[in-house]
Amino acid sequence: MSTDTPTRAPHSDVPTGHKQDTGKVGAGLFDPAQLVKSLPDAVRKLHPKVMVKSPVMFVVLVGSVVTTVLAALNPGDWFGWAITAWLWLTTLFANLAEAVAEGRGKAQADTLRKAKTDTVARRLVGPNEERVPGTDLRIGDLVVCEAGDIIPGDGDVVEGVASVDESAITGESAPVIRESGGDRSAVTGGTKVLSDRIVIKIMTKPGETFIDRMINLVEGAARQKTPNEIALNILLASLTIVFLLAVVTLKPFAIYAGADDQTSLIVLTALLVCLIPTTIGALLSAIGIAGMDRLVQRNVLAMSGRAVEAAGDVSTLLLDKTGTITLGNRQAAEFVPVRGTTAAELADAAQLSSLADETPEGRSIVVLAKEKYGLRERHQGELTGAEWVPFTAQTRMSGVDVDGRKVRKGATGSVIAWVKERGGEVAEDARELNDRISQAGGTPLLVALEDADGARVLGVIHLKDVVKEGMRERFVELRRMGIKTVMITGDNPLTAKAIAEEAGVDDFLAEATPEDKMALIRSEQAGGKLVAMTGDGTNDAPALAQADVGVAMNTGTSAAKEAGNMVDLDSNPTKLIEIVEIGKQLLITRGALTTFSIANDVAKYFAIIPAMFAVAYPSLDRLNIMNLSSPQSAILSAVVFNALVIVALVPLALKGVRYRPMSADRMLRRNLGVYGLGGLIAPFIGIKLIDVLISLIPGIG
């Protein structure tokens, strides 16, 4: 057996089945059915207790109520009713954006609820079983599940091995193996056992299972405002207060200038709503919900919005080599004999020692000997009287004793020690071949033989772990984003260095222990960097808890999943790169729309202020650069544009601004150029077009 059998996630790279329809809603942003379904929720969100959570939109709601009262006191004032109608539509559009974002999550939650069934559990009480409702299970209970049973709760397999159908959770139709004593012991309540018998230790309380948390997440029930979102809300509230004070002071100035008729309470309310950052205030919540939704669409469960934001600010990525950077299943590439031994002799011994090795590496050695050296594929049963020597962590070797010969295959040091114990000699070039293969990024396995001529080393098997296609390009992109990549591996430094150079990572940590991982994370964090990493074993739990973004594999242990702040349902370690991109896209989208919203206010200022005071101060008419037809038309056009721009930006808020790997400086310049300049120009065009249409209405223009 090889010296290092990789743990490979069942869904990591090689397709094992096909994705079922899990009911996930794609990016169909203006699906009429979804809009109609979300409309009642949008109306319900008009309640003041809900609206007060968004200070900007709460001010718009208060303004809508005020203008409604004023319009009711003067029923014949068409201008008052028009302003009132569009202010209510502004509030409704903001709520509709959030409701649509939440509605997409609820569609996913409905599918998850189908997987949540009331089951009867077979709880172990000493040597006996008792049938109890799944809701009666408590942490620490042991339950038995056999083929056809629904697993009643989240837990770890403590006895046995079984094939489990997790399609209700992951959408993957191919079953996965769950077994005790390893990093694939965790099982999820609601999944189905397809074969064999397992004993599960319950690790969660009823109502706190994995599916329960997923449902709460996608419905938004568990979503809390993130630190950046709270900070932006404070900024928007501050701007709102500043503009409120500015608008209030306009009334005394208007009275003094004799322009009181142009500054009615309805006009001042319209001015306030147009000047405060209503666009980002309306879309802020939808942006956050959509960011979480994009993660769920990729089968990632984030325990908090803080983790998603942290992913966007990550400076260092820690990535396991096996199964992440490389394919994981090392394959025999070459038999390299020592001087005095033929390649055919080495191939024969290597194949013989691998007949009982069922690992991918062992199978590849048998196949290479057959295909390259013409040796027929033998089987264990053909060797009468053979005594097989299994691989153990202590000996780090495996092999067979048959027909007076002893063949061993394994780690270099172990095989050399075995030869010397038997008084044999080690060829001078054995270590040289070993080092050469290690430096090339391969894994060397020495093969030795003891027969009538004594014990001796025959040569080296070269195992190669192939770097995944496209990984170097991905790391180049990450480097352009300013993210440092560190490969973590248990390999020796020579092998680690070769793989790191081939893959293009910035640094590597060889022969890594859990303590080494923790020390590296703390060292990076001490330098002010945010760190992300993946893991699946109990020994990864401390590092996952320490990392700012800890992504646990769904195949991993419960300890790993509890320690991390994200869980990848597909157990694909490379998804960490996608998670970082989604986090950055969330932050970029929020920043871009904030820039657009604030830039909008400048144009609306040029539309309304000249219209309000041009009569009292004719010189202000020079600021009427859009040449709007009348004061009322100018104010109404600005209010209409203010409402419609929210609807126009909903798709962008839900889909996200397209992410491109680039430095922070370039990204800032791009956002200012596209969304800052766009936010300045768009209102001038939009308000002018609306003004032209309004002026065509008889009795208004």
Rounded Cα distance between 168 and 607, Å, is 55
Residue 564 clears pLDDT 70, i.e. is over it: yes
Average pLDDT over residues 4-29: 37
Residue in 212, 320, 491, 691 annotated catalytic: 320
Rounded Cα distance between 306 and 226, Å, is 5
Write down the pLDDT at residue 72: 92
**Per residue in 513-545, pLDDT tens?**
888 888 999 999 998 888 998 877 777 788 888
Tokens of 212: 């329960």
| 542-569: b (≥16 Cβ within 10 Å) or e | bbbbbbbbbbbbbbbbbbbbebbbbbbb
At residue 118 the predicted structure's pLDDT band, cuts being 50, 70 and 90, is low
Tokens of 476: 């180049």
Average pLDDT over residues 374-378: 63
Answer yes or no: is 398 a known binding residue.
yes
Distances (CA, A) of 656 to 347, 566, 574, 584, 599: 56, 21, 22, 10, 19
Write down the pLDDT at residue 69: 93
Average pLDDT over residues 323-334: 76
Q: What are phi and psi of 160, to 5 degrees?
A: 95, 180
Q: Find tokens 């200012």 and name the residue.
A: 672
Tokens of 534: 């993946």
Which class for 273: exposed (0-12), middle (13-18), buried (19 or more C-beta within 10 A)? buried
Tokens of 461: 């098997």
Average pLDDT over residues 314-323: 82
Answer yes or no: is 396 a known binding residue.
yes
Write down the pLDDT at residue 24: 41
Distances (CA, A) of 184 to 158, 209, 536, 558: 11, 18, 8, 10
Q: At what angle do helices 278-297 and 631-655 cross, to 10 degrees?
A: 20
- Between residues 393 and 445, the one the model is more confident about: 445
Say if residues 489 and 321 touch (Cβ distance below 8 Å).
yes
Rounded Cα distance between 75 and 684, Å, is 31
Tell me the Ramachandran region of residue 21: left when phi exceeds 0, alpha when psi lies from -120 to 50, beta otherwise. beta
Q: What are phi and psi of 418, to 5 degrees?
A: -65, -40
Say if residues 531 and 545 touch (Cβ distance below 8 Å).
no
Write down the pLDDT at residue 428: 81
Q: What are phi and psi of 139, to 5 degrees?
A: -60, 130
Answer yes or no: is 394 a known binding residue.
yes
Tokens of 157: 């397999």
Which class for 415: exposed (0-12), middle (13-18), buried (19 or more C-beta within 10 A)? buried
Predicted TM-score (pTM) of the model is 0.66
Average pLDDT over residues 332-355: 88
Residue 18 clears pLDDT 50, i.e. is over it: no
Distances (CA, A) of 473 to 467, 502, 658, 668: 12, 11, 19, 24
At residue 620 the predicted structure's pLDDT band, cuts being 50, 70 and 90, is low
Nearest in space to 547 (alpha carbons), one of 528, 534, 560, 562: 534
Rounded Cα distance between 641 and 597, Å, is 12
Q: Find tokens 């409120």 and name the residue.
A: 244
Average pLDDT, the chain: 80
At residue 223 the predicted structure's pLDDT band, cuts being 50, 70 and 90, is low
Nearest in space to 701 (alpha carbons), one of 628, 645, 610, 613: 628
Dihedral sign (CA 87, 91, 97, 99)? negative
Nearest in space to 258 (alpha carbons), one of 612, 631, 680, 667: 612
- How many of the other CB atoms lie within 10 Å of CB of 339? 10
Answer yes or no: is 471 a known binding residue.
no
Residues 6+ apart with CB under 8 A from 281: 54, 55, 56, 57, 60, 94, 236, 597
Answer yes or no: is 397 a known binding residue.
yes
Average pLDDT over residues 439-454: 85
Rounded Cα distance between 436 and 4, Å, is 19
Answer yes or no: is 540 a known binding residue.
yes
Average pLDDT over residues 68-96: 91
Answer yes or no: is 49 a known binding residue.
no
The SS3 call for residue 143 is strand
Nearest in space to 467 (alpha carbons), one of 487, 490, 494: 487
Write down the pLDDT at residue 112: 61
Nearest in space to 107 (alpha carbons), one of 23, 217, 20, 213: 23
Average pLDDT over residues 675-700: 85
Least confident of 172-181, 224-233, 253-262: 253-262
- How many of the other CB atoms lie within 10 Å of CB of 270? 29
Answer yes or no: is 341 a known binding residue.
no
Average pLDDT over residues 603-630: 72
Tokens of 428: 């001078």
Residue 59 clears pLDDT 90, i.e. is over it: yes
| Continuous H helices in 614-695 | 631-655, 664-671, 677-695
Distances (CA, A) of 353 to 3, 332, 345, 371, 381: 14, 14, 13, 17, 14
Least confident of 71-80, 110-119, 449-458: 110-119
Answer yes or no: is 401 a known binding residue.
no
DSSP string, 243-287: HHHHHHHHHHHHHHHT-GGG--HHHHHHHHHHHS-HHHHHHHHHH
Nearest in space to 543 (alpha carbons), one of 522, 558, 568: 522
**320 labelled catalytic:** yes
Write down the pLDDT at residue 225: 66
- How many of the other CB atoms lie within 10 Å of CB of 622? 9
Average pLDDT over residues 7-12: 34
Rounded Cα distance between 181 and 394, Å, is 18
Answer yes or no: is 568 a known binding residue.
no
Dihedral sign (CA 99, 105, 111, 117)? negative
- Between residues 82 and 372, the one the model is more confident about: 82
Average pLDDT over residues 82-103: 89
Give percent above pLDDT 90 in the chain: 14
**Per residue in 640-659, pLDDT tens?**
999 999 989 988 888 888 87
Residue 467: its H or E element? none
Residue 91 clears pLDDT 90, i.e. is over it: yes
Least confident of 5-19, 136-150, 585-599: 5-19
Answer yes or no: is 655 a known binding residue.
no
Q: DSSP label at 359?
A: S
Angle at the Cα of 684 from the Cα atoms of 678 and 685, rounded to 5 degrees = 85
Residue 225: its H or E element? none
Write down the pLDDT at residue 200: 92
